[in-house]
């Protein structure tokens, strides 16, 4: 065992200990609720575009993209485009280090606002980005995404659009099967299940109706996916608890 392997083994033990620490988990939940009330995730940018993600999850995604080296990343939900730029930048780094040279990210959103589209298309990393405007659960747009994924050796999926149970479940049914074995389908905002009722008074989702409830329903009949609890135990604070779904078969 070399020094890096020793370090990783020690880290794995420490991460397992974190996952069993109920006091640490409780502090994390309290912090999450307080920070979420302040719209914490809205305050960050990636290479000049608002990203609306937690820094902790960005580190997790960097690790996944580096290890998986996907040919295609599929993202539902575009907003300001920061996540597309992030994925494109990770694919660019992978390519510079010998990964797939033609890897790209595909974003799907029901409403790509003109100023956001303009900014994304003007970005230096747009060469690795394509976008589809339309409902991510409409059959005609699902077909377009499926066509894009056809023949791709390695596919990573990220679901982050409408956060209601029914919508996310429909996205899982449409896009999770495109995930390649040993890659991930990452379902964002599963943390909505764990926040106090009424935190999102202007939204149709909340406890009992959100991405985590959709994940639980989907996994009942899809044993080819499993929740990667090690990621949860490592991050402690995440918008996607129980949302990192690894395809194992």
Question: Residue 123's pLDDT is what?
Answer: 98
Strand ranges across the sheet with 244-247: 129-133, 104-109, 72-76, 155-159, 184-187, 244-247, 225-227
**What does pTM read for this prediction?**
0.97
Whether 240 contacts 189, CB under 8 Å: yes
Q: What is the mean pLDDT of the chain?
A: 97
For 32, the token pair is 């999450």
Q: Which residue has the higher pLDDT, 197 or 119?
A: 119
* Separation of alpha carbons 193 and 236, rounded Å: 16
* Separation of alpha carbons 62 and 67, rounded Å: 9
Quote the longest CA-to-CA distance of the chain: 54
Give residue 200's pLDDT band: very low, low, confident or very high (50, 70, 90). confident
* Separation of alpha carbons 139 and 57, rounded Å: 30
Give residue 246's pLDDT band: very low, low, confident or very high (50, 70, 90). very high
C-alpha distances out from residue 151 to 71, 147, 154, 155, 180, Å: 10, 9, 9, 10, 11
Whether 67 contacts 44, CB under 8 Å: no
Question: Residue 198's pLDDT is what?
Answer: 83
* Separation of alpha carbons 230 and 97, rounded Å: 26
User: Burial letters for 109-125: b for 16+ Cβ neighbours within 10 Å, e otherwise?
Assistant: bbebeeebeebbeebeb
- What residues does each domain of the chain span? 3-247
* Separation of alpha carbons 98 and 89, rounded Å: 14
All residues at 6 or more sequence positions from 190 whose CB lies less than 8 Å from its CB, including other chains:
210, 211, 212, 215, 239, 240, 241, 242, 243
Choose the weakest-confidence range: 58-62, 174-178, 201-205, 242-246.
201-205
pLDDT tens track for 132-173: 999 999 999 999 999 999 999 999 999 999 999 999 999 999
Reduced to 3 states, what is the DSSP secondary structure of residue 90? helix
Q: Which of 175, 190, 180 is nearest to 227 (CA)?
A: 190
pLDDT tens track for 93-105: 999 999 999 999 9
CATH code, 3-247: 3.40.50.150
* Separation of alpha carbons 101 and 81, rounded Å: 22
């Amino acid at each position: 065992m070399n020094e890096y392997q020793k370090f990783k083994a020690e880290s794995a033990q420490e991460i397992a200990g974190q996952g069993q620490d109920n006091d640490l988990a409780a502090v994390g939940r309290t912090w999450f609720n307080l920070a979420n009330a302040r719209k914490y995730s809205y305050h960050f940018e990636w290479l000049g575009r608002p990203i609306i993600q937690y820094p902790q999850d960005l580190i997790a995604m960097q690790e996944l993209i580096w290890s998986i080296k996907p040919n295609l990343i599929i993202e539902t939900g575009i907003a300001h485009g920061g996540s597309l730029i992030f994925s494109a930048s990770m694919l660019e780094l992978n390519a510079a280090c010998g990964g797939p040279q033609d890897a790209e990210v595909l974003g799907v959103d029901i409403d790509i606002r003109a100023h956001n589209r303009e900014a994304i298309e003007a970005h230096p990393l747009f060469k690795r980005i394509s976008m589809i405007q339309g409902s991510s659960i409409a059959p005609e747009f699902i077909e377009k995404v499926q066509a894009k994924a056809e023949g791709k050796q390695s596919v990573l999926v990220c679901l982050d659009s409408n956060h209601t149970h029914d919508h996310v479940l429909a996205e899982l049914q449409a896009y999770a099967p495109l995930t390649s074995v040993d890659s991930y389908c990452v379902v964002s905002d599963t943390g909505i299940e764990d926040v106090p009722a009424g935190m999102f008074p202007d939204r149709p989702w909340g406890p009992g109706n959100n991405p985590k409830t959709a994940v639980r329903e989907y996994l009942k009949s899809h044993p080819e996916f499993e929740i990667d609890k090690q990621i949860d135990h490592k991050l402690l604070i995440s918008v996607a608890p129980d949302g990192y779904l690894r395809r194992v078969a």
